[in-house]
Amino acid sequence: MVKCPRCGYDNSINAVYCDNCAYRLTDHKGRYIKNTKRVNKWDIGIARKIVIVLGIIIIALLLFSFIYNNTQPSDNETLNVITDDGSVHKTASYPYEAVILYEGSWYAEMGNPNYLVKESGYGPETFTLDCAAWDRVAIDAQKYDYGEGEFKVQLLRNGEVVAENSTTNVTGRIVINYNY
């Protein structure tokens, strides 16, 4: 029996090639090749293996990040409303505005009830509220100067008044809660 130096298979004594892997067992003069250490082309050090694996992981993460970031819809696309008939109604990124109509000084808290923004001012002002179309909106406004004029607050959605309240009381306070 002749042992193949490549795969270790026991071949017949007359075999020129290994019956298992077709490795040449004799040289050009017909002499059997001695068993030598099997050469592994992939025999690399552990450090190189770690570097290769880490490199593959980093490339995979970068590729995933690139694909994820380039497939996410923009802010305007996420605020579009698709109706039952499949048509798309485009809305503004922030469709709500608060309008305070008063000729004196005032103070207001407005926006999403969980994240109210505090503003104060003098005279009429309009604020774009950081609320999406599906958010609840709250406005709590009050006169600061105890004036006698009309204090009016409006909530606009895409430019149309959806809620409005006013008072002429000197300590006038207005609260608007709007659920789309």
Residues spanned by the domain of 17: 2-50
Question: CA geometry: angle at 83 spanning 89 and 163, to 5°?
Answer: 65
Are 107 and 167 members of one domain? yes
Read off the pLDDT of residues 49-72 as tens digits, 9 standing for 90 and up. Answer: 899 999 999 999 999 999 988 887
DSSP single-letter state for residue 104:
S
Give CA 69 to chain center in angstroms. Answer: 7
Assigned domain for 40 exists: yes
Beta strands in 4-134 (DSSP E): 10-11, 81-82, 88-89, 96-101, 105-112, 115-122, 125-128
The predicted pLDDT at position 75 comes to 58
Query: What are the Cα distances from residue 8, in Å, to 134, 156, 159?
Result: 72, 84, 84
The secondary structure of 70-97 as a DSSP string is: HHSPPHHHHT-EE-TTS-EE---SS-EE
Assigned domain for 174 exists: yes
Assigned domain for 83 exists: no
Contacts 24+ apart (CB under 8 A), 155-159: 155/96, 155/97, 155/98, 155/99, 156/96, 156/97, 156/98, 156/99, 157/95, 157/96, 157/133, 158/91, 158/92, 158/95, 159/97
Q: How far is 95 from 129, CA to CA, in rounded Å?
A: 8
Assigned domain for 110 exists: yes
Q: Which of 14, 31, 50 is the last residue of a domain?
A: 50
Are 42 and 104 members of one domain? no
pTM: 0.49
Are 173 and 100 members of one domain? yes
More confident residue, 93 or 178: 178
DSSP single-letter state for residue 35:
P
Are 163 and 103 members of one domain? yes
**Phi, psi (rounded to 5 degrees) for 49:** -60, -45
Assigned domain for 16 exists: yes
Read off the pLDDT of residues 119-147 as tens digits, 9 standing for 90 and up. Answer: 999 999 999 988 887 888 999 999 988 88
Assigned domain for 82 exists: no
* Amino acid in position 117: V
Assigned domain for 33 exists: yes
**Structurally, how many domains does the chain consist of?**
2
pLDDT of 106 over the 90 cut? yes
